[in-house]
Structure 1
Amino acid sequence: MLLYVTIGTNDLDRAGAFYDAVLATLGYRRQRQDGTEIGYSLDGDVRCRFWVVTPFNGEPATFGNGTTIALVAETRAAVDAFHAAALANGGTDEGAPGLRPFHPNFYAAFVRDPDGNKLSAVCERPE
């Protein structure tokens, strides 16, 4: 359904370091970069699906209140690694890894990046 997602940043270098470490835990790699954006994709994908950008209008980047971008994690261990990498690279905790009440196998972690954008990694498989 979604073609791609963008996340705003006020410091592209800092955001790139954060997302290089955090998205690698889910299999995403930096594929493209210029002075205003960095694109990530899964190995083998022909296009970047996750972009970190400085706002096109030149205004400061802000986060959306009530907005969360949830990324698929293949294993619960990947959710744990995502959370740990986020905290080790300047992110903040918004919900430690664990089961959530959405259904019996909804295992997720929630973090904020250094710009305040809220992210989640979710594994919906049984252990």
Structure 2
Amino acid sequence: MLLYVTVGTNDLEKAGVFYDAVLPLLGYRRQKQAPGEIGYGADGDARCRFWVVEPFNREPATFGNGTSVAFDAPSRAAVNAFHAAALANGGSDEGAPGIRSFHPNFYAAFVRDLDGNKLSIVSERPE
């Protein structure tokens, strides 16, 4: 359904360090960088599906209250690793890894990146 997702940043260099540390744990890597933006995608995907950008209008980047970007993790171990790496790289905890009430296999963790964007990391695989 979605073609790509963007999150704003006020410090592209620091945001790049954060996302370079956490996204490879889910199979994504930095594939493109241009002034004001970094794109991440999976190997073999012709497009970057996740972008970290300085806002085009040059206003400060802000996060949306109630907005969250959810990443599909290949395993519960990947959810745990992403959460730990996010915290180790300056992110903040918004919910430790664990089963959530959405259904019996909804294993998720929640963090905020350096700009306050809320990220959800989810594995729906039974393990």
Q: Which runs of 5+ in 2 are unaligned?
A: none
Matches of 2:2 and 2:41 in 1, distance apart? 14
Offset of residue 11 of structure 1: 0.1
- Name the SS of the counterpart of 2:26 in structure 1: coil
Matches of 1:87 and 1:124 in 2, distance apart? 22
Offset of residue 76 of structure 1: 0.2
- Name the SS of the counterpart of 2:52 in structure 1: strand
Superposition TM-score, scaled by structure 2 size: 0.99
Q: How does 1:109-124 map to 2 (within 5 A)?
A: 109-124=109-124
Q: Which residue of 1 aligns with 2:5?
A: 5
Q: Which residue of 2 aligns with 1:63?
A: 63
Q: How does 1:11-50 map to 2 (within 5 A)?
A: 11-50=11-50
Structure 1 stretches of 4+ moved >4 Å? none
Matches of 1:46 and 1:16 in 2, distance apart? 20
Superposition TM-score, scaled by structure 1 size: 0.99
- Name the SS of the counterpart of 1:62 in structure 2: coil
Equivalent residues, number? 127
Matches of 1:29 and 1:114 in 2, distance apart? 18
Matches of 2:22 and 2:121 in 1, distance apart? 10
User: Could you report, residue by residue, the CA deviation over 1:44-65 in whole angstroms, capped at 9, with x for unpaired residues?
Assistant: 1000000000000000000000
Matches of 1:7 and 1:98 in 2, distance apart? 25
**Two-structure CA RMSD over aligned residues (Å):** 0.4
AA in 1 matched with 2:100: R
Offset of residue 34 of structure 1: 1.2
Matches of 1:83 and 1:45 in 2, distance apart? 25
Q: Which residue of 2 aligns with 1:103?
A: 103
Matches of 1:44 and 1:78 in 2, distance apart? 20
AA in 2 matched with 1:96: A
Offset of residue 109 of structure 1: 0.3
Matches of 2:95 and 2:116 in 1, distance apart? 14
